[in-house]
Amino acid sequence: MDNDLLKLELFDGMIAEYKPPASLLLTSRNILPVVEDVGQTVAWDIEKAELDVQGFETLGGSAGVRKTNVIGHRTATLARTFKSKRLPGAALIDLRAPGSMNREAIAVAKVARETRTMLEFFARQNEYMRARALQGSIALAFEGGLVSTVDYGFLGGDHDITPAPRWSDTGADIETDIALAVKAIAQDSGRDAVYALCGSDVIAAIMKNDRVTEYFAKTAAGTAYMQTRSMGQFQGLEWLVDDQVYKPAGGSNTPYVNPKDVIIFPAPDSEWGEFRVGSDVIPSDDRLSVIEKVGQYVYPNISINPASIELFAGIVRLPIIRNVGAIAVIHALP
């Protein structure tokens, strides 16, 4: 086999071409945008927006001091994933396509498939972290049983609404509950709410609401919903329906998003929240030194007993929520 199969450049290309599946809704849409930087730790201030407008300076006067409304501080170690997969040499030989002796191309295709498998695993982990960050905290379970929790310090009040009655009641005042959350985001973050993230159980409750049913029965939006099961725009928000699940070790299928809640937030913007991706150390192409690699990485290693290619893949990352006023949660269902 050609040495090209062992070059980092080949794997960097595979990573660049990989796109997370649309079913991983937050990751595929880059909600909490990726920000890459060196290092494996991160520190950030928890802020509320300063919405003041006064405080002009006189001509020729000194600069006024601009302060940030910091209500907390967090320091965390980025979550590191580092996995390996062995591809036996004999299996790579057997990959020759019928009528072809081009084992090199077939081997590269096999390596590419295995690389995509690992990248999709990373994407599922990223989806879990993004979803949990938008719900206020992440529990990270490490090999060996250690669990570390990151608490983002979310606000209470109209950023954490428990409606009375809940939306399972057909007479619930859904419009007012949403309006309270949207107003809280505007007043505490200086941003407009754009998205509402929830599961299909919440959508079903909304569609059974007396006022909502009356509205949808009279508009084209109702016909569109019956055709696509997508509510689209409602109360000024784009509704993202996420019923995807993950399976924790030894556990059962668990929704990424609490099926009883609605999470409301602005358009993705790293000023209020980001997905920080750090760096790790990997071997150089010639295997004579190590280099610092920012972002996802995959590199191969040749084992001689038995002859095989072993793929190593990794990433270090963590979501950051700086402006907690940008998020509101409605506990819509009991």
Per-residue pLDDT, 61: 80
pLDDT at residue 135 above 90?
yes
The whole-model pTM stands at 0.89
Average pLDDT over the chain reads 88
Counting Cβ atoms within 10 Å, is residue 292 exposed (0-12), middle (13-18) or buried (19+)? exposed
Position 225 confidence tier, pLDDT thresholds 50, 70, 90: confident
Domains plus CATH for the chain?
3-47+72-331 (3.90.1690.10)
> Residues 137, 142, 148, 150: is their CA dihedral positive or negative?
negative
Q: What is the pLDDT of residues 61-107, one digit of tens each?
A: 888 777 778 888 999 999 999 999 888 766 565 544 555 556 667 77
More confident residue, 301 or 41: 41
Q: Transcribe 229-256 into DSSP letters.
A: S---EETTEEEEE---EE--TTS--EES
- Over residues 260-287, the mean pLDDT reads 95
Q: What is the pLDDT of residues 102-113, one digit of tens each?
A: 666 777 778 888
Q: By the 8 A CB rule, do 282 and 326 touch?
A: no
The single-letter DSSP state of residue 59 is: T
Distance CA 31, CA 332 (A): 22
pLDDT at residue 146 above 80?
no
Position 6 confidence tier, pLDDT thresholds 50, 70, 90: low
Per-residue pLDDT, 267: 97
Per-residue pLDDT, 93: 58
